[in-house]
């Protein structure tokens, strides 16, 4: 009986400590690659199912930073930096953990420790 009580107490302690743990976070960087400058950098707590786009929108809104969304899944502008949607001479690129994104910000749900970068870039073509 003592073993069962001890086991239950250990289980309660472990669950209590786990519940007090820090929430998972991801790092977000918004930069102007044409000027090699970081514009905004922040860490955000992650919520189940919340996309990188929703987290960035929330940050920009809370900080009074103007932005637009293009085609529902891409950044059109942040502040005064606006992509050239006609000729694509400049555009907003996304990188997840250093890799060029193959899915848009509103289609990507970050995981613990991810680094999401939204970078204003010049076209190379």
Using pLDDT thresholds of 50, 70 and 90, give the confidence band for residue 14: very low
Question: Per residue in 58-84, pLDDT tens?
Answer: 999 999 999 999 888 889 999 999 998
The CATH number assigned to the domain with range 24-122 reads 2.170.130.30
Domain boundaries, the chain: 24-122
Say if pTM beats, i.e. exceeds, 0.85.
Answer: no
Could you tell me whether strands 37-45 and 99-100 are parallel, antiparallel, or unpaired per DSSP bridges?
unpaired
Separation in Å, CA 88 to CA 82, 83, 85, 114, 125: 10, 7, 5, 28, 9
Q: How far apart are CA 118 and CA 124, in angstroms?
A: 17
Q: How far apart are CA 8 and CA 2, in angstroms?
A: 10
CA 88 to chain centre: 24
């Amino acid at each position: 009986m003592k073993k069962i009580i001890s086991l239950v107490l250990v289980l309660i302690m472990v669950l209590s400590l786990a519940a007090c743990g820090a929430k998972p976070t991801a790092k977000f960087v918004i930069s102007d690659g044409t000027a090699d400058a970081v514009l905004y950098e922040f860490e955000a707590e992650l919520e189940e199912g919340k996309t990188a786009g929703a987290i960035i929108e929330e940050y920009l809104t809370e900080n009074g930073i103007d932005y637009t969304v293009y085609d529902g899944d891409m950044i059109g502008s942040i502040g005064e930096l606006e992509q050239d949607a006609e000729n694509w001479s400049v555009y907003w690129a996304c990188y997840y953990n250093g890799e060029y994104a193959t899915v848009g910000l509103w289609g990507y749900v970050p995981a613990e420790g991810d680094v999401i970068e939204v970078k204003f870039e010049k076209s190379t073509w």
